[in-house]
Amino acid sequence: MQKLIKNNIRDVRFGKKCVIVKPVNLYECELGNNVFIGPFVEIGKDVKVGNSTRISSHTFICPKVKIGKNCFIGHGVMFTNDKFSNGIINFNEKDWLKTKIGNNVLIGSNATIMPVKIVDNVVIGAGSVVTKDIKKTGIYAGNPAKYLKPLK
């Protein structure tokens, strides 16, 4: 017997010419113009995605994330808003932490992005774990992600 795959698209502010490849879960978020969302993506509330940004399949973007314009988010990228600092899950939304991704940021597949700030013009290598703010333009990779070299 086939399972029915249900989409949940609720209270989303869509810009012009957005492309959404279902199935997806999008709720209480804002998408700019010319945004592409691949299949099996979940985007939570209070997320803002800038113009001309592409989000690849199997990516999870938790609440309180802001992504700039002209960004690329690879397949299976995971964002988190709780560091589990006290050894427990924090269910209180007001205590969740924010993430801000600048413009022209490329995040490779299977990267994990903790609650951080990333400046404009950064490349994050596939599989990297970003645990601290990135304040300098360039290429970063590893676990934890470290600066490798400038962009050309």
Domain 8-82+93-149 fold is: UDP N-Acetylglucosamine Acyltransferase; domain 1 (2.160.10)
pLDDT tens series, the chain, 152 aa? 566 656 789 999 999 999 999 999 999 999 999 999 999 999 999 999 999 999 999 999 999 999 999 999 999 999 999 888 888 888 888 889 999 999 999 999 999 999 999 999 999 999 999 999 999 999 999 999 999 999 98
Please choose, from the candidates 38, 34, 10, the residue with its C-alpha nearest in 3D space to the C-alpha of residue 22: 38
75 is catalytic: no
SS (H, E, C) 74-126: CCCCEECCCCCCCCCCCCCHHHCCCEEECCCEEECCCCEECCCEECCCEEECC
Please report, for residues 21, 102, 126, 127, the alpha-carbon distance to residue 112 in angstroms, rounded to integers and kept in the order given. Answer: 23, 16, 9, 7
* Catalytic entry in 48, 58, 66, 75: 58
Cβ atoms < 10 Å from Cβ of 7 = 12
Global confidence as pTM: 0.94
